[in-house]
Structure 1
């Protein structure tokens, strides 16, 4: 039972790291990446559909995204979705493809972006700590309900704390790397 609780906590913490990496990849950091458009959906025949399911997204140049819709009729819907998004990019269309030019980052934009990165990292740390707290609560309930020794509970709490420390350090490393990327562009 204890092993199951610890395994579930480990899975949740790994998912938190995956979400953090996805969130950071979708941030506009001066370089064009298809992941920037991952959160954008466009209306396609009445259903909100992710852009990567509506078009081929490529990076022909370091600061340019090329969006080539599979259905030319969805071109205007895709443009509208990009304009409504929080990316702040202006799509330019030639009737068959959409080009997105990623502007150079100003010093002010870099600082704001670094602040957003730190905020996202802090939210991930809070999620990791919340998973730890949830796990510790389950362990305490387990102790009340069954005849598990105090030593086993203490060892398990130590295990979850060391996992928490490991994941928090991993988040710090990811955030530091992203900050360096943003400041060195």
Structure 2
């Protein structure tokens, strides 16, 4: 029972980390492009499937497409995305230059990250609620003793608390990354 709960809570944490990777910090990161989709042979695919993404300098992302024909579509997809970056196309590669973040923009990103963390905490609390309901169901259906039920619920709470602390640690690290100039 606890293993399933821990596994589901770990998935929540990894989803948060994946989501946080899409928030810009002062440095270029290939994960910024994870949600950008490019039309390629009739279907929309992630940028990472049409070319290689490299970070030649701390504030530059360089995309080298595997086929030259996809350059125009890639450029259009990057312009249409919510990145707010203008790609420069030299006929071979596309470069995205990340401008310095202003203080206000950094604070916006921190708010966005904290909002994502709060959603993760809500998800963790929902998992806790489901586990507690499963224990209560065992009390009714299987005649689980009340003190055993209380012990299980306390253990569920301890597990939840540890994962909430992990969310706080992850968000604290991301906040430092964003605010570091």
- For this structure pair, what is the TM-score category when the shorter chain's length is used for normalisation? over 0.9
Equivalent residue, structure 2, for 1:165: 161
Q: Aligned residues, how many?
A: 181
Matched position secondary structure for 1:118: helix
Residue 36 of structure 1 pairs with residue 26 of structure 2 = no
Residue 94 of structure 1 is matched in structure 2 by 90
Q: CA deviation at 1:148?
A: 1.9
Instruction: Tell me the distance in 2 between the aligned counterparts of 1:77 and 1:137.
Output: 50
CA-based RMSD of the aligned residues comes to 1.0
- 5+ long unaligned stretches in structure 2: none
- Measure, in 2, the Cα distance between the counterparts of 1:82 and 1:156: 50
Normalised TM-score (structure 2)? 0.96
Q: Which digits, 9 at most, give the CA deviation of each residue in 1:115-159, with x for residues without a partner?
A: 111111111111111110111111111221112222222111111
List per-residue Cα deviations over 1:74-104 (Å, max 9, x = no partner): 1111111111211111111111110000110
Q: Which residue of 1 aligns with 2:64?
A: 68
Corresponding residue to 2:134 among 125, 128, 138: 138
SS state at 2:84 partner:
coil
Aligned to 1:89, the other structure's residue is in SS state coil
Structure 1, gaps ≥5 residues long? none
Corresponding position of 1:105:
101
Looking at structure 1, the residues matched to 126 and 25 of structure 2 have their Cα atoms a distance apart, in angstroms, of: 29
Asked if the contact 2:128–2:160 (Cα under 8 Å) also holds between the matched residues in 1, the reply is yes
TM-score (normalised: structure 1): 0.94
The range that moved more, 49-58 or 151-160, is 151-160
